[in-house]
Structure 1
């Protein structure tokens, strides 16, 4: 297949993405489910080019939101099959977009002697399946389904117009990287659904989705030192702590109806994430018991103001750099950074109204707060 793409980012990223998926499948756990085939460079370039130009079109005044999955109909579970093959081009993608905007619906794309074609839709795809999401005009996200099959897909690259961000997995190997970063990068392939770090990712996605901004502080259940960094009285203090999410995680076993369990977990997570839209921080303990919301952060009397921190974005070119705390954002980010500076056993998740998302944690090796900007991994 020869390339005739006109979107420059497609030509630049296609060889990098082919190499990524090829290596990822070579490193995959041999005991895992048989993964999907990955597209070759020319196919990747064609998919990106068609999706980009489709994203700039409108159908009945609305920009398309599409999820394209590269797999054959035989690899899909209960697929919806079109009677006629539709060639993969911007026109066909735009026409189909209104009918496939629902969450979890993928347009299935495969190839024949004439090139790539759209064969239908599917709700289920194999592990590591190549997926491209059109999120908004000129914003494309290349990702794959994570091994555990639950929750956020693993992002590989983000293309926004002429801006290219390739996720850098090596970011997870930096000293004291928080576990949420490892999982978002797809490195914890044996992670179970009940692992609390998976729940943390779903909380992050929920916070980002409500687009109001917010803070969730995750504190140790074993002590109450965190109270020294909160203004009292706490207006929305829960007594006893709300344990619905924690109980669901504990109760999970092989006998459970997974679809029903996932639905209940999502409902609880969305409820907690929604509380972060209220002015002030949500406080959870590390068992995911909800303690309070709408809380105000303050500096501990015995501690200094935070001055500098380590700033990291897990993309190629996003190396660690020390910055002044005042450079990372507004009051919300600065107060979260101060909280972690005072409460080194805690983690802070911070969402901005503009979609930016950061995770604050303490790095014993660096002796300072570290700030991971992870919105690239959450889109």
Structure 2
């Protein structure tokens, strides 16, 4: 490994390993198929360490943004495979980062003669596959795929420099935890059990993608009380109300094909784009 060890990687590894072990065991007991293998502790630490030091490098003036997935090529559907595997090192990661910056593309990592290496790229990963995303220099997120939608993930831990934050699953079961927060975190929501589309997660992902920050205020349908908290006049109000997203979500699950998914993405991006403007976007 190039460079000194990243202390936070060693500190967070036992917690991450316990999280994946617990969920993989529960999934097996439920008869779930297409499950990832449980990563070893030293593997988790090595991936986090390499990704952290890679995030601090710059390649042609750009900081790398990478999504690393721990899986063998055999579990990756139809992957793009390198003719020769690349070593898992900060320098190699920063070199190939531009190839996996686009949403939904992961850099495949697996053992090769007892050493971790990069074997190619993939859009397909199994359930509970260990994924590490490099967001910006020094900021990493450990997560895993949930459900059938390849774009939906549950965050496990966030590392920023020497700071470690573990997502508290149990916190969403507290009586005063808002249902909206539970849905956004992906715990205990219908989406986790039935693989239905969680439009709030889609909106959050799209909002993050524009990189300008933003706020989304969700108000009860049919209520006008929220207007009392708004400073009027509103310079960017929409009339009539944009209802395409709501209409798409009323579509029966059996009728949600490829065209429906594309229409949903367009509607989500239209709303998420508004959040880049100063202030908050209000939806019901």
Same fold per superposition (TM over 0.5):
yes
In the alignment, does 2:22 pair up with 1:20? no
Quote the residue 1:243 is aligned against: 243
Asked whether the 8 Å contact 2:104–2:150 carries over to 1, the reply is no
> 2:196 matched to which residue of 1?
193
Q: Secondary structure at the match of 2:140?
A: strand
The correspondence of residues 1-379 of structure 1 with structure 2, limited to 5 A, is: 6-28=5-27, 30-149=30-149, 151-187=151-187, 188=189, 189-194=192-197, 198-230=198-230, 236-257=236-257, 259-285=258-284
CA distance in 1 between counterparts of 2:85 and 2:211 reads 38
Query: For residues 142-163 of structure 1, what are the alpha-carbon distances to aligned partners after superposition, in whole Å with 9 as ceiling and x for unaligned?
Result: 1111224254411111111111
User: How large is the RMSD of aligned CA atoms in angstroms?
Assistant: 2.5
Greater alpha carbon shift after TM alignment, 200-209 vs 55-64 = 200-209
Distance 1:17 1:5 in 2: 21
**Is the CA contact (8 Å cut-off) linking 1:5 and 1:49 kept in structure 2?**
no
> Residue 277 and residue 52 in structure 1: after superposition, are their counterparts in 2 closer, same or farther (change >3 A)?
closer
CA distance in 1, matches of 2:255, 2:114: 47
SS where residue 119 of structure 1 aligns? Answer: strand
1:242 deviates by 2.1
The answer as to whether partners of 1:150 and 1:193 remain within 8 angstroms in 2 is: no
Q: Cα–Cα, structure 1 residues 146 and 229, in superposed 2: closer, same or farther, change >3 Å? A: same
Deviates more, 1:260-269 or 1:204-213: 204-213
Deviation, 1:18, is: 1.1
Aligned 8 A contact 2:88 2:116 in 1: yes
User: Residues 6 and 243 (structure 1 numbering): CA distance in 2 closer, same or farther, change over 3 Å?
Assistant: same
Aligned partners of 1:180 and 1:201 also within 8 Å: no
Matched positions, count: 279
**CA shift for structure 1 position 47:** 0.7
SS of 1:190 mapped into structure 2: helix
State how far apart, in whole Å, the 2-side matches of 1:202 and 1:113 are: 39
Cα distance in 2 between the residues matched to 1:71 and 1:59: 26
Considering only CA atoms, is the larger Rg found in Structure 1 or Structure 2? 1
Distance 1:25 1:5, change over 3 A: farther
Contact 1:154 1:184 in 2 (8 A): no
Cα distance, 1:42–1:191 mapped onto 2, change above 3 Å:
same
Q: In the TM superposition, what is the alpha-carbon distance from 1:228 to its structure 2 partner? A: 4.1
Q: Is the 2:84–2:119 Cα contact (8 Å) retained in structure 1?
A: yes
Which moved further from structure 2: 243-252 or 27-36?
A: 27-36
Structure 1 stretches lacking a partner, 5+ long: 286-379
TM-score scaled to structure 1, two decimals?
Answer: 0.67
CA deviation string 1:43-67 (max 9, x = no partner)? 1111111111111222222221111
